[in-house]
Amino acid sequence: MKGVILAFVILVICAGVAYSFEDLTGFFVKAEPTSLVITPKTVEAGSPITIFINPGRYGAKKYLTIHKYPSNLRKGITNWCTQRGLCLSGKCISGFKCYGIKSINYRTMASWPPGTYYVRIYDYTLDDYITEPFEVT
């Protein structure tokens, strides 16, 4: 009788582990979101910025946009997948979603007034937008 009870307990434990296996692996292996790095952080209007894009596990939208803060007016848009730039990962292929790590140069407009701007890109890992600010003087 003890053997049957022990076998049943082991069976219940194995079923519980198998049922939550995806949750356990997700706990140990986190899907990193898209990251943006902008250099330099402060530029004169009309000067270029360099944007490093590292898409998350499920990719990022091929378009990135530039917005003025706090009005959130869009000042520019570019397709960073096909734009000339340095592909840092070897996975830079054009499509709706982009997966390759890339560095692009984006020239700010001379007509932009001084203030805070930000780069915005949609991240499919978070199902939300990632933003990174920079200053125009």
Distances (CA, A) of 50 to 68, 105, 127: 18, 5, 25
Where exactly are the structural domains of the chain? 1-30, 35-136
CATH class of 35-136: mainly beta
pLDDT in tens, 100-128: 888 999 999 999 999 999 999 999 999 99
Question: Residues 31, 57: contact at Cβ < 8 Å?
Answer: yes
pLDDT in tens, 82-92: 756 566 655 66
pTM for this entry: 0.70
pLDDT of 1 higher than 90? no
Higher pLDDT, 97 or 67: 67
Question: Residues 78, 106: contact at Cβ < 8 Å?
Answer: yes
**Residue pointed to by tokens 């001379």:** 110
Instruction: State residue 31's pLDDT score.
Output: 76
Question: Could you give the angle at the alpha carbon of 97 between the alpha carbons of 43 and 127, nearest 5°?
Answer: 80
Average pLDDT in the chain: 82
